Amino acid sequence: MTQPPMDPTASKRATVRRHRRERQILLFGLILIGMAVAGVFFASVYKGDTEGPFAEPFVTPASDFATEVNVACPPGDALPMEPTEIPIRVLNSTDKAGLAGTTASDLKGRGFVVTGAGNYPRPYEGSVRIIYGEKGLVEAYTISTYFTQSEMVLDTRDSAVSDLVIGDEYDPATTLRPQGAPELDPEVPFVRPQQCVPVELVAPEPAPRVIPDNPLVEASPSASASAEDVPQEGDN
């Protein structure tokens, strides 16, 4: 019996389907091989055996960073300093006579190095304001732990001497923590504020032209005083 002649069109379609399957098998095989190689590579990067393709972290340049947060974060896991290592000037912004002097005495009793006591030229309605420079960030955070309420303000001073401004809401009986309070444990790291940024990203306020010499370092010549910038010694 003779077979009917093969349809050339059907034979062509079968050849096309076979070639298509071969291309699909080749394509899927290459994809699987690539995924396997990528998996091995990224596993090696994750374990640290291989350097990743990106050497620099994805960060926003400091010059392009803008924020309304003006509170500087404490540096890393920094611990409080000893009060004997912290120079501080106490300023009274209220009309309560003698408040800067009594607060200075209290702080001296805690071991702080008090550089002076005087009047603050502007009113302050809060409790305690700690004005510090970038060099005195840890000092300022240490000072803040001694008070139940405080506000920290960065200015442009090139000194570790901080100014402690006493405001209308200050109450020495409740604002200054008692000795032995758990918050004063020198082995406990600073509490990080909920909203803070690195100190270099905080816009500092202008510093007064006269900052007391830091008695813990070699004395440097003081700037000339002016009635507006220098608090008068003694309280009002």
pLDDT at residue number 8: 62
76 secondary structure, DSSP code: T
pLDDT at residue number 236: 47
Task: State the SS3 of 3-39.
Answer: CCCCCHHHHHHHHHHHHHHHHHHHHHHHHHHHHHHHH
Pairing of strands 128-132, 87-92: unpaired
| Spatial CB neighbours of 139, under 8 Å, sequence gap ≥ 6 | 81, 85, 86, 87, 88, 132, 160, 162
pLDDT at residue number 235: 46
pLDDT at residue number 132: 97
pLDDT at residue number 15: 75
β-partners of residue 119 are: 92
Asked if 212 and 116 touch (Cβ cutoff 8 Å), the reply is: yes
pLDDT at residue number 77: 81
| Spatial CB neighbours of 131, under 8 Å, sequence gap ≥ 6 | 153, 155, 162, 163, 165, 205
Smallest CA-to-CA distance from 88 within 57, 51, 117 is with 117
pLDDT at residue number 227: 34
pLDDT at residue number 47: 67
pLDDT at residue number 200: 93
Domain range list for the chain = 11-56, 68-201
Residue in this structure with the two tokens 């509170």, named with its chain if needed:
71
For CA atoms 104, 107, 109, 111, give the dihedral sign.
Answer: negative
Smallest CA-to-CA distance from 115 within 228, 210, 224, 227 is with 210
pLDDT at residue number 126: 95
Alpha-carbon distance of 87 to 85, in angstroms, equals: 7
40 secondary structure, DSSP code: H
Q: Average pLDDT across each block of 10 residues of the chain; the chain has 236 residues. List them in order.
A: 59 74 82 83 70 56 65 91 97 94 96 96 95 97 96 96 97 93 93 91 94 80 40 47
pLDDT at residue number 63: 52
pLDDT at residue number 56: 53
